Amino acid sequence: MNLPYYLVVTDEVTYADSKHFRIRINPKYRDNEPLIVHEYEHIKQQYFFMATMLLTGVIAYFMGYTLAAIYFAIFSVTTKDLLYTFVRPLRYYFEVKAYAAQLKQLEYEHGSAVVHDNAMTFAEALTTGYNLNVTKGKAFKDIVTAYLDL
Ligand SMILES: [Zn+2]
């Protein structure tokens, strides 16, 4: 099932990023399906946390916690971003899952021979680009493990 999102092609990003339900991608990579798959994984994470918070808000409402319900509804949109920004282990988990999905798409397009080298590249990205304080070996192992679970 594909969840709705919108795609913006812009040179405001070097490669691609996502926020809430929007993926921005550089014109050079507009046809790079693996990169879009990576960002789409973040869209799925957004939907998961939004749905969880909204459901919690509904439960709170029916239990008589109206103010809490309102807060859950308001924060449902920003929960994933707040967790991504401030909770390092979750940011790592979100990225591992996104890179695993990207790796699966690369394998689908180019065959299994490309998996190892791309996993190494993604592990390098996780050790340098996300303030994660993780070793390349651990990142590689976690990306490949998540990829094998897909
Ligand atoms: Zn990502």
SS3 117: helix
Please choose, from the candidates 102, 145, 101, 144, the residue with its C-alpha nearest in 3D space to the C-alpha of residue 120.
144
Q: What is the distance in A from the centroid of ligand 1 to the CA of 40? A: 9
- List the 6-9 sheet strands across, edge first: 6-9, 22-25, 16-19
Q: What is the distance in A from the centroid of ligand 1 to the CA of 94? A: 7
CA 111 to chain CA mean position, Å = 23
Q: What is the distance in A from the centroid of ligand 1 to the CA of 61? A: 34
Q: What is the distance in A from the centroid of ligand 1 to the CA of 132? A: 12
Q: What is the distance in A from the centroid of ligand 1 to the CA of 90? A: 12
In this prediction the pTM is 0.94
pLDDT tens digits for range 88-140: 999 999 999 999 999 999 999 999 999 999 999 999 999 999 999 999 999 99
Q: What is the distance in A from the centroid of ligand 1 to the CA of 142? A: 15
Contact 50, 79 (CB under 8 A): yes
pLDDT tens digits for range 51-76: 999 999 999 999 999 999 999 999 99
Contact 36, 7 (CB under 8 A): yes
